[in-house]
Every structure is written in C-alpha cells, then in structure tokens.
Amino acid sequence: MRAKPAAGDPARPPYEQARDELTELVKRLEAGGLTLEQSLQLWERGEQLAAICEEWLEGARARLATALASQQEARPAPGAPF
C-alpha cells in the first residue's frame, strides 16, 4: 500500500491543478498518435492524478460532514426550553 502524500507535499498538487492536468492528459490520449509506451506513461500519470483528486474530495467531504455535525450540535432541540 502506497503512503498518501501530505497536504503541502510537492508530489501532491492542489485539487484544481491535478484536475486540469488530468483533463489535458485525457485529451492527449483521446487524440491518439502516441506510442504504446507514451500511452502507458500517460495512463499511469492519469491514475496518480485521479487518486490525488479523490483524496482531495474525500478530505472536503470529511470537512463538510464535520462542519454540518457542529451546526447540528449547536442547535437546540425542537421544543426544548430556552
């Protein structure tokens, strides 16, 4: 199992950068004209970028869930006295 790069790690680009690079990589693969080796290298990089994007999205979901849970805890229960 591969260790996940930490936030701020140069091997882990920001979400938007990883997403944009992945988009460009897909366009290059779809355009064709690459050797098998080039295609495999791009595919491998695409897998890395997809994993990075998924890690960012999982982190965002966790932060959102924490924020929503905090809001729920701060609200008084319906019908509770002041």
The domain segmentation of the chain, as residue ranges, is: 15-65
User: Which pLDDT band holds residue 61 (cuts at 50, 70, 90)?
Assistant: very high
The more confident residue out of 72 and 38 is: 38
**Residues 25-58, buried b or exposed e (16+ Cβ, 10 A)?**
beeeeeeeeeeeeeeeebeeebebbeebbebbee
What pLDDT score was predicted for residue 73?
80
Is the entire prediction scored with pTM above 0.85? Answer: no
13-57 residue pLDDT tens? 999 999 999 999 999 999 999 999 999 999 999 999 999 999 999
Tokens describing residue 61: 């979901």
What pLDDT score was predicted for residue 6?
55
